[in-house]
Chains A and B, each alone.
Chain A
Amino acid sequence: GENVEQHPSTLSVQEGDSAVIKCTYSDSASNYFPWYKQELGKRPQLIIDIRSNVGEKKDQRIAVTLNKTAKHFSLHITETQPEDSAVYFCAASSTMNSGYSTLTFGKGTMLLVSP
């Protein structure tokens, strides 16, 4: 099955700095890579996603890059703000034989943005 590794486990930055979180996956058939933000005690929220036919996607301060050859993808947050502090999860989606696709999550990165 799919295996997703995520690094770092914690990341502390100063407000205004950039933050980068990296993930690798094992299943070359995976073709959908979402990123979720989860604040303490709340539901994960989809913040950005990328499909395997695209190498980079940007949405305001957030960008995601995908390298299919190397099987890794990264989340980039620029001009970080204290409200960006949360746990971020990457995930990879691979389709099972039944036709249903399931997400495999990374272990998460706790991002702390200090004022």
Chain B
Amino acid sequence: GAVVSQHPSRVICKSGTSVKIECRSLDFQATTMFWYRQFPKQSLMLMATSNEGSKATYEQGVEKDKFLINHASLTLSTLTVTSAHPEDSSFYICSARDQSGRLGKLFFGSGTQLSVL
């Protein structure tokens, strides 16, 4: 299947700092990527849809100035958690859609565990 690479896998940072997470589709082009947040033992909650060459679409309740998304190319989307606080600690996962089919399948990155001290 298609490969989606996500880095870093784990990051620990101090409160007030910013953290950037990268999501790359390695063997296919993805005009659309998705960013999710997952709390322990809970489901994946969609945060935003990242569209190549245009602004991201954020879900209700997600602060766009807090979670900056950039989708500068067909293979790379980044999520920057700005001025991180302990409540931002979570597992963040990206996914990318393989556009080769009319209803492209979704493939996930390996996730990033963010811990804000």
Contacts and interface: CB of A to CB of B under 8 A. Distances in A.
Interface size range on B against A? 20 to 34
B1 A102 contact: no
Interface string B40-76: 0111101001010000010000000000000000000
A75 B36 CA distance: 23
B32 A44 contact: no
A89 B42 CA distance: 10
Contacts of A89: 43-44
Interface of A: 31-32, 34, 36, 41-46, 49, 51, 89, 93, 98, 100-108, 110
B55 to A, nearest CB: 12
Contact of A105 (B41, B44, B103, B107): B44
Given A32-B103, A42-B111, A43-B110, 7 more contacts: A43-B108, A100-B32, A102-B34, A102-B49, A104-B46, A106-B43, A108-B43
State the main secondary structure of chain B at its contact with A.
strand
State the main secondary structure of chain A at its contact with B.
strand
A73 to B, nearest CB: 15
Contacts of B108: 36, 43-45
Contact of A46 (B32, B93, B105): B105
Closest 7 CB pairs of A and B: A43-B108, A107-B43, A43-B110, A105-B43, A32-B103, A44-B108, A105-B44
B12 interface: no
Given A42-B111, A93-B103, A108 B42 contact: yes
Interface string B74-100: 000000000000000000010000000
Contacts of A36: 108
6 contacts: A36-B108, A43-B108, A45-B108, A46-B107, A89-B43, A103-B34
Contacts of A103: 34, 46, 106
